[in-house]
Amino acid sequence: MKTALVTGATSGFGRSIALRLARLGYNLIITGRRVERLEILTKELQDNNSIKVLPLCFDIRSNDTCTKAIQSLPADFKQIDLLINNAGLAAGASPFQDSDLADFDQMIDTNVKGLLYITKLIVPGMIQQKSGHIINLSSIACIEVYPSGNVYCATKHAVNAITKGLRIDLVKYGIKVSSVSPGMAETEFSTIRYHGNEEKAKAVYAGLTPLNAEDIADAVEFIVTRPAHVSINDIQINPSQQANTYIAHRNTI
Ligand code: NDP
Ligand code: 8X3
């Protein structure tokens, strides 16, 4: 049985991806900062699947806590076959000049540095076993920059570059590196981005049908179920009503 580690499994994409991987028979390490949610998901995963589940509660922004968490893995969870680097966020949506430096720090520390910390800890095991698969949750913001997207887009451009760099450096060890780059998807993402303002969060999806977390789990399932000789580099996935980061066709209400 293979083991997958999913960061940011307490909500949105990460939760759906964990549920999907469980159905595919993976043992799971699920992570996030909200311990109650990890406990509830652990029970749900174990009740419905014959798999082993290990919840790990930590903040991905600290290399120290990431290191302690990964070092704490019991022997039967030490070999990780699939790493889903999903934990991430947008904090704020303002023109650069009006943006908050604390939001910049939070996005860079989570989306870029946190992803690097976890990946640095998991890659040595994959190199040793000469196999593995890393899937990074990127975004269409890795391709285009949109108004008031400044630093969020920068973090996803970084994820794109890191994905490509890892693919180059790890190819000789039989390690696949993929990314999923979604457009608008309704999760807790916009509520977090607007610092809890539900009205602003809802307005993001007004007049269109956004992606949902299951759509992203579908993409991950496709990537991980390809034959050994096939590596999917990236799946870009948008709502049908979103052409790119600027153009969305909204129903008139
Ligand atoms: P959610 O807000 O629903 O989920 C985000 C997850 O990240 C949560 O489980 C959260 O867990 C975790 N997380 C955030 N910060 C930290 C931290 N410091 N330490 C550990 N875990 C953390 O958002 P989505 O599911 O939508 O987003 C998942 C990924 O997909 C992100 O990388 C996002 O940028 C990307 N994405 C989202 C899109 C969208 O429109 N929704 C589109 C394109 C990409 P907890 O709070 O418990 O720590
Ligand atoms: C999240 C989606 O529209 O902000 O990555 O690029 S968007």
Tell me the per-residue pLDDT of 147-159, one tens digit each, with 9 for 90 and over. 999 999 999 999 9
Q: Could you give the domains of the chain?
A: 3-237 (3.40.50.720)
Tell me the per-residue pLDDT of 187-232, one tens digit each, with 9 for 90 and over. 999 999 999 999 999 999 999 999 999 999 999 999 999 999 999 9
pLDDT averaged over every residue in the chain: 98
C-alpha of residue 155 to centroid of ligand 1, in Å: 13
Atom of ligand 1 nearest to the CA of 141: 43
Cα–Cα distance list, 21 to 53, 68, 76, 88, 241 (Å): 11, 25, 18, 20, 28
Residues with CB under 6 A from ligand 2: 90, 139-141, 183-184, 245
Is residue 31 within 8 Å of residue 4, measured between CB atoms? Answer: no
C-alpha of residue 192 to centroid of ligand 1, in Å: 9
**Alpha carbon distance 187, 13 (integer Å):** 8
Atom of ligand 2 nearest to the CA of 138: 5
Q: Give pLDDT, residue 13.
A: 99
C-alpha of residue 175 to centroid of ligand 2, in Å: 28
Which residue's CA is minimally distant from atom 6 of ligand 2? 141
Q: Give pLDDT, residue 252.
A: 85
Which own/partner pairs from 171-177 qualify as long-range (CB within 8 Å, at least 24 positions apart)?
Answer: 173/126, 173/127, 173/130, 173/131, 173/132, 174/130, 174/131, 174/132, 175/123, 175/126, 175/127, 175/131, 175/132, 175/133, 175/134, 176/132, 176/133, 176/134, 176/231, 177/133, 177/134, 177/135, 177/136, 177/231
- Which residues of the chain are under the pLDDT cut of 50? none
Element spanning 13, H or E: helix 12-23
**Residue 62 CB neighbour total at 10 angstroms:** 15
Atom of ligand 1 nearest to the CA of 140: 43
Residues with CB under 6 A from ligand 1: 8-14, 32-34, 59-61, 86-89, 110, 137, 139, 182, 184-185, 187-189, 192
Q: Give pLDDT, residue 15.
A: 98
Q: Give pLDDT, residue 253.
A: 59
Q: Point out the residues that are catalytic.
A: 152
